[in-house]
Amino acid sequence: MTNAKFTKFPCLMLAAGLLGAGCKGSRLTHSSLAPVLNGADVLHARSAILPKGLKVGLITNHTGHNLKRHLTLDLLLKTKNLELRAIFSPEHGLHGTLDRRIGDSTDTNSGLKIFSLYGATRKPTAEQLAGLDALIFDIQDIGCRFYTYISTMGLAIEAASQAGIRFIVLDRINPIGGQIVDGPIRQGPSQFIAFHDIPIQHGMTVGELAHMFNKERGYDANLQVVKVEGWSRGKFFDETGQPWTNPSPNMRSLTQAILYPGIGLLETALSVGRGTDTPFEIIGAPYIDDVKLARSLNDLQQPGVRFIPIKFTPKASIHKDRPCRGVNIIITDRKILRSVPLGIEIARVLHQMYPENFPLSKVNRLLCHSATLKAIEDGDSLSQIQNIWKEDLNQFRKRRAEFLLYK
């Protein structure tokens, strides 16, 4: 287990053989004022954590950087300890700007091939892995089952296992905290937006999930996780000292990340603000009466949020270029907010108010739980719906405990 109270972190004035430039005469401790160190920070500071001489492929994007925003990609290109031979990019591409299928390309700086894992294939092929000793994964996740970076990781672990090569995860904090576990466990087959049997908000880091995938899916890969240092499960991203980088085009703030497990759940059925300045902070549709919806949602007294009537016209996705009315979701207390129940409550209210207009069945695309959908259709209360998940969620918590790396 990693403890938030560390004695001393080795000076970033690096000894011979370590990676990167360092500090002069200072020592970094994990006090309340010191930043949390992601796996990328640890690798930048201590190259000895990885065996020398490995020929590696790097699965990364623009979020794969350290505290100073130095990219792990650049680090591996410069170091003599490892040989970077291939780059793999997830959904949204290497630079995190694309909202479409992506083809392979070439990195202009290094001349290395960039293999897209969001195009013709979503799993590294045997040909792409030929000649490699290891795959390194360094991407910032946000802690939600249908955010696809964890699916990319899971498929890559499987590919590494089949190729007989190492899989190395540079772990990163869960930006919305590692304590809340909520929502139904996925039902049905594994798919890219629901890779494993986990709830919508899983409360795990990518390193912890890597261990879970590796064991529960029987991959038995040679897995190494470079752990985060100085993080405790109750810390949100803005309590870590790490710099924020939008992990995808429509994930632009911690507020949006906190709301995403519940509000993102609705995005196949109505506008959740894609194509506006505040995605996942607003919802709406042309048929909604914004004042009535805000009143109905506020009457539910959901903890940690309130709702303001709003009009907007999204420039992308559902209801593109159509004037919409809905609500702006204001977080009043993020510690008591429960995003998944919030999303379910909004779906319940919209189905009650607009049964002919709100396409409830489309919510199951990301929900992946037909029993919950039927309960909403039947007019069940939130507590009744949560009782449907209760036993499976308790079983998941027991499964999850085996793989937790942090207190």
* Helices 339-353, 254-263: inter-axial angle, 10-degree rounding: 50
State the average pLDDT for the chain: 92
Q: How many CB atoms lie within 10 A of CB 234?
A: 13
Angle ∠(61,67,73) on CA atoms, nearest 5 = 35
Stated pTM of the model: 0.91
Helices (H), 134-200: 149-163
* Helices 370-377, 339-353: inter-axial angle, 10-degree rounding: 40
Contacts of 6 (CB under 8 A, 6+ apart): 29, 30, 229, 230
pLDDT band at 18 (very low <50, low <70, confident <90, very high): very low
pLDDT at 48: 81
> Which of 140, 3, 21 has the alpha carbon at shortest distance from 79?
21
Quick: pLDDT tens for 72-130: 999 999 999 999 999 999 999 999 999 999 999 999 989 999 999 999 999 999 999 99
Contacts of 65 (CB under 8 A, 6+ apart): 40, 71, 72, 245
The answer to whether residues 175 and 243 touch, using CB atoms and an 8 Å cutoff, is: no
pLDDT band at 9 (very low <50, low <70, confident <90, very high): very low
pLDDT at 32: 55
Q: How far apart are CA 48 and CA 225, in angstroms?
A: 14
Quick: pLDDT tens for 212-238: 999 999 999 999 999 999 999 999 999
User: Does residue 24 surpass a pLDDT of 70?
Assistant: no
Q: How far apart are CA 135 and CA 124, in angstroms?
A: 10
Tokens 């993080």 belong to: 231
CA-based torsion, 51, 57, 60, 65: positive or negative:
positive
Quick: pLDDT tens for 128-184: 999 999 999 999 999 999 999 999 999 999 999 999 999 999 999 999 999 999 999
* Helices 339-353, 382-401: inter-axial angle, 10-degree rounding: 150
Q: How far apart are CA 22 and CA 217, in angstroms?
A: 40
**Burial grade of 385 (CB within 10 A; 0-12, 13-18, 19 or more):** buried
pLDDT at 22: 35
Contacts of 244 (CB under 8 A, 6+ apart): 237, 238, 253, 254
Task: Give the start-to-end residue ranges of the domains of the chain.
Answer: 39-246, 254-368
- Token pair in block for residue 361: 């069945």
39-246 and 254-368 have identical folds: no
User: Does residue 27 surpass a pLDDT of 50?
Assistant: no
The answer to whether residues 154 and 213 touch, using CB atoms and an 8 Å cutoff, is: yes
Q: How far apart are CA 272 and CA 160, in angstroms?
A: 36
Q: Choose the CATH number for 254-368 among 3.40.50.2300, 1.10.1200.10, 1.10.10.10, 3.90.1150.140.
A: 3.90.1150.140
Q: Could you name the CATH architecture of 39-246?
A: 3-Layer(aba) Sandwich (3.40)
Q: How far apart are CA 166 and CA 210, in angstroms?
A: 13
Type and span of the H or E element at 173:
none
Q: How far apart are CA 4 and CA 233, in angstroms?
A: 9
The answer to whether residues 265 and 366 touch, using CB atoms and an 8 Å cutoff, is: yes
